[in-house]
Structure 1
Amino acid sequence: MWGSNIGVFEVFLGVEGVPRDLMERIKLLLDPPQPIVPKIKEPWAAVTIILTDAEGLFKVLMIKRRARQGDPWSGHVAFPGGFYLSSDVDTLTTALREVAEEVGINIEPESVVGMLNVASPVNRPEVKVAPYVAYLEKEPLTKPGIEVEEVFWAPLKGLRREKVKVDSVYGVLEVEAFKHGSHIIWGLTARLLNELLNKLAPLL
């Protein structure tokens, strides 16, 4: 049992057993961030999963999208993000631009510590989403953009999936979701959050 974890702890320890910087520890557990340049007419989007351990508690930034008619993700809890635009250099540029627009945080590329697997929402399988992970030592001030109803931080430790019923464009569905207070995190966001929890498990 313990043998399988020895390598992880050896990697996490620096000279004479001194723990390395937390940002470096996170990088070791994630794939390196890859900026992607989409082909013409290929629909891509990007999100940024922002982590902080302010006050010694690992937290992730989430948004609740403002309810809008015709928006398939209207009112959903999500990570800041949106569609790649032709004016964006690549998907990493998209991710950081959307963070600034939706929550008012300017993230430097150096703060992006990794990425998760490219995924697609069930209701738009043709769209590929590049999920980047950023780490900030201090919890930044946020300012919700016009498409955002609420910005909040959810502690990673203790988040568990459970079956809940949600309203969707397909009617009422029973899905696996995470709950944080009154917020229900489901769909692609829940899938990405579950992947993040699995990869960062040694730190939680």
Structure 2
Amino acid sequence: MHEIAPLAAALARYQPRRYRWRRRLKRAAVAVILRETRQGAEVLLAVRAHRHGDPWSGDMAFPGGRVDAADEASASVAACRETEEEVGLRLSRDDGIGRLNDRITLDHRRRAPMVVSPFVYRYRDADTPVLNHEIAATRWLALAWLDEPANRAAMRWQLGRVALPMPCYDCGDGQRLWGLTLAMLDELRGLS
């Protein structure tokens, strides 16, 4: 069973990779939101709404989005802002318990590199998420569920004419947890 206190202690000691040149690229930030339950820590996942032309429509991901000028060049401020916009949960930097490694991905709008910075937050309220048009649903997933090898699977991701095998979790109802979100969760779980 995962608990937030040991994760927070591990994150306090953790030295995540931060690309020095990240401010020269397009940037995005996500909020890895944890809450404590009797069954241990759970993480909030958002199911992206289906949109024409969006290659990640329907995927499970963390709330988040682009860092823009209104965020005062702070990725953690962007993660909090985007979380409130997408799922209606209010976070502040005071709720932050750490961060994970920066990740390089492609900005699918421009087909150029983009840096994604994941920030980990503890959520103490019992508010129900209020979703905007970008999010179809949310779900809290127990970190302990991710520890069960039987829940881990593989999927085929089509990249042009090539089908690549990718690790994933089949969360039911056609929802798969994979890609950057899975890599971030694996990193977080590896800290405990």
Q: TM-score band, normalised by the shorter chain?
A: 0.7 to 0.9
- Number of the residue aligned with 1:101: 85
- Alignment counterpart, residue 164 of structure 1, candidates 136, 141, 155: 155
Query: Is 1:29 matched with 2:21?
Result: no
Label 1:141 to 1:171 Cα distance change in 2 as closer, same or farther (>3 A): farther
Q: Distance in 2 between matches of 1:189 and 1:172?
A: 20
Q: Distance in 1 between matches of 2:65 and 2:80?
A: 10
Q: Is residue 43–residue 140 contact of structure 2 (8 Å, CA) maintained in 1? A: yes
Q: Distance in 2 between matches of 1:79 and 1:181?
A: 18
Could you say what the CA RMSD is over the residues aligned between the two structures, in angstroms?
A: 2.9
Larger Rg: 1
Higher relative contact order (CA 8 A, sep 6+): 2
Q: Distance in 2 between matches of 1:141 and 1:52?
A: 13
- Number of the residue aligned with 1:130: 117
Is there any run of 5+ residues in structure 2 with no aligned partner, and where?
none
Q: Is residue 121–residue 187 contact of structure 1 (8 Å, CA) maintained in 2? A: no
Q: Distance in 2 between matches of 1:82 and 1:170?
A: 29
Q: Distance in 2 between matches of 1:79 and 1:122?
A: 17
- Number of the residue aligned with 2:128: 141
Query: Is 1:113 matched with 2:113?
Result: no
Aligned residue pairs total: 179
Query: Is 1:80 matched with 2:63?
Result: yes
Label 1:99 to 1:33 Cα distance change in 2 as closer, same or farther (>3 A): farther
- The equivalences for 1:165-184 within 5 A come to 165-166=156-157, 172-182=163-173, 183-184=175-176
TM-score, with normalisation over the residues of structure 2?
0.80
- Number of the residue aligned with 1:191: 183
Label 1:74 to 1:170 Cα distance change in 2 as closer, same or farther (>3 A): farther
Q: Percent same amino acid among aligned pairs?
A: 28
Specify the SS of the correspondent of 1:143.
coil
Q: Is residue 38–residue 44 contact of structure 1 (8 Å, CA) maintained in 2? A: no
Specify the SS of the correspondent of 2:69.
coil
Q: Distance in 2 between matches of 1:181 and 1:187?
A: 17
| Most deviating of 191-200 and 36-45 | 36-45
Which whole-Å deviations, capped at 9, do the CAs of 1:70-124 have from their partners, x for residues lacking one? 2232221100011111111211111000000110001121111001000123676
- Alignment counterpart, residue 38 of structure 2, candidates 45, 55, 73: 55
Is there any run of 5+ residues in structure 1 with no aligned partner, and where?
1-21
TM-score, with normalisation over the residues of structure 1?
0.76
* Amino acid of the structure 2 residue aligned with 1:99: T
Which whole-Å deviations, capped at 9, do the CAs of 1:166-185 have from their partners, x for residues lacking one? 46676754211122233211
Q: Which portions of structure 1, spanning 4 or more consecutive aligned residues, are displaced by more than 6 angstroms?
A: 32-40, 168-171
